Amino acid sequence: MAVEKRGKSYTIRFDPYKDGQISLKVDSGTKAEAKQIEAMLLRACRSGDYSTLDGAGREACVRMFRNKGWELPPALGGGLSRPTEDLTLWKAIQLCLMDPEVKDSANRERHEYAFSHMVEHWGKDFPVKALWIPHIKQYQAERLNQGAAASTIGKERAALSKMFQVLIEMGLIDRNPVRMVKGPSDKDGRREVYISFEDFNALVGNLPTWVKPIIQTLYFTGMRRGEALGLAWENLNLESRTIRLHAHQTKERQPKRVPIHRLLVPILQRVGRVRSISTDKVFLTDRGKPPFPDSLKKPWNLAIEAVGLTPAPTIHDLRHVWKTNAMRSGMDFEMREAILGHARGIAGRYGRISDDDLVRAINGMRFDEGSTEIWVARREKENPAGVNCRAKNLSIS
């Protein structure tokens, strides 16, 4: 019996029925928790009493049975065994979203959105083992024809590749065809966007009240939309003017510190006056619930239309506007890359960046650094079907 840390998760290696060891990922934050799950599984498997398993132990036990193709005991929902030779796209997506590395990942919402397009294209019952290189090439071509940007298709490829990776780790398939297909070039979709402070304030003035502080936070920090929407009050220290993101909250899967500009402080203070008793998330909709990334699109597009900006900038363009403002304000290159999360350990190798260094850097940043300029190499086509493919039923609890 052993517990090993592999990447961001823990794997237990144990012999549940004294007939050979198996390896199993477990959803635990520490090695001690992984050992507790291992002990629960051993006790349940060898005694035949699965009713004593708690939530984490039950989830791990069910996954173990399904991974091995065994029939589930009645206490675990018997009769729900999954024949591996009949693995459908829908079942594969469910297994992927239940994987510990995906379930609590900052990219989970993005994966769900990507999978919704694949289900629409191939159907829920498409056999995964039949999904091969020509199918992926055809899918990419169809998405391009629908007007999807190359970067969007790249995110969908990443989700599909992650699904295959999970299935390989579970021993259900042995190859990942996504790695054998070249993705579309994003050169035709290159964008250069700068939004003036005047136009930005006009945009904010046309947004719903609950959306305004989210967009302002993106503009003043350079954070990604998912990072901002995932903020909890424990991440913020308004006194020291520092945001601390954990590794699971960033795309790079690395901890990150973001300084808070003095113009953003009163905005976040106002947000803090109304909190929910059911969540610690900073930003809430007008219904008191944490917003989904897609819920910002409609109010953003309406505000863009009201101000008359064309070609229409995206919410993600605010990150590039922040980088331009930082550069034009004379912020040190390594400093701004560290704040954006692009440093890749440079600062750690060549010098320590303190919280005070970050605050001093943001204090010198100006935002009225030019007039609006928007250049897009290729105008994306509108989705001819007008389909909203968010597919809430992809969510696996």
**Which residues sit opposite 243 in a β-bridge?**
236, 258
CA distance linking residue 80 with residue 124, whole number of Å: 18
DSSP 130: G
CA distance linking residue 278 with residue 344, whole number of Å: 36
Residue 171 structure tokens: 């021993």
- 218 in the same domain as 183: no
Residue 371 structure tokens: 């007039």
Model confidence, pTM: 0.61
- 239 in the same domain as 140: no
Instruction: Decide which of 160 and 171 is more confident.
Output: 160
161 inside domain: yes
CA distance linking residue 244 with residue 227, whole number of Å: 11
Where does a domain end: 45, 60, 81? Answer: 81
Average pLDDT, the chain: 84
List CB contacts of 278: < 8 A, sequence separation 6 or more. 288
- 166 in the same domain as 101: yes
For residue 161, the model assigns a pLDDT of 94
> Is-contact 315 225, C-beta < 8 A?
yes
For residue 377, the model assigns a pLDDT of 67
Share of the chain above pLDDT 90, in %: 46
| pLDDT grade for 77, boundaries at 50, 70 and 90 | low
3-state secondary structure 180-220: HCCCCCCHHHCEEEECCHHHHHHHHHCCCCCCHHHHHHHHH
Out of 29-38, 116-125, 186-195, 226-235, least confident range:
186-195
For residue 125, the model assigns a pLDDT of 93
382 inside domain: no
- Total domains in the chain come to 3
For residue 84, the model assigns a pLDDT of 42
CA distance linking residue 298 with residue 210, whole number of Å: 13
Where does a domain end: 63, 81, 99? Answer: 81
- What range does the domain containing 138 cover? 86-189+390-394
For residue 224, the model assigns a pLDDT of 93
Q: Quick: pLDDT tens for 275-306.
A: 888 889 999 999 889 998 889 999 999 999 99
CA distance linking residue 341 with residue 228, whole number of Å: 14
CA distance linking residue 217 with residue 232, whole number of Å: 14
Out of 109-118, 143-152, 311-320, 322-331, least confident range:
143-152
- 323 in the same domain as 236: yes
For residue 147, the model assigns a pLDDT of 80
| pLDDT grade for 388, boundaries at 50, 70 and 90 | very low
User: Given a cut of 90, is residue 241 above it in pLDDT?
Assistant: yes
Q: Is 365 left (phi over 0), alpha (psi -120 to 50) or beta?
A: beta
Average pLDDT over residues 114-140: 94
Q: Is 222 left (phi over 0), alpha (psi -120 to 50) or beta?
A: left
215 inside domain: yes
221 inside domain: yes
| pLDDT grade for 351, boundaries at 50, 70 and 90 | low
User: Given a cut of 50, is residue 390 above it in pLDDT?
Assistant: no
Instruction: Decide which of 113 and 106 is more confident.
Output: 113
- 369 in the same domain as 266: yes
- 199 in the same domain as 168: no
The number of beta carbons lying within 10 Å of the beta carbon of residue 303 is 20
CATH of the domain at 90: 1.10.150.130
The H-or-E segment that residue 23 falls in is strand 22-26
List CB contacts of 214: < 8 A, sequence separation 6 or more. 228, 229, 283, 291, 296
List CB contacts of 315: < 8 A, sequence separation 6 or more. 215, 218, 225, 296, 297, 300
Rg value, the chain, Cα: 24
Average pLDDT over residues 361-368: 93
383 inside domain: no
385 inside domain: no
For residue 347, the model assigns a pLDDT of 46
Q: Is 48 left (phi over 0), alpha (psi -120 to 50) or beta?
A: left
347 inside domain: yes
Instruction: Decide which of 104 and 329 is more confident.
Output: 329
Q: Quick: pLDDT tens for 151-164.
A: 889 999 999 999 99
Where does a domain end: 22, 49, 81? Answer: 81
Which of 11-25, 46-60, 270-284 has the highest average model confidence (pLDDT)? 270-284
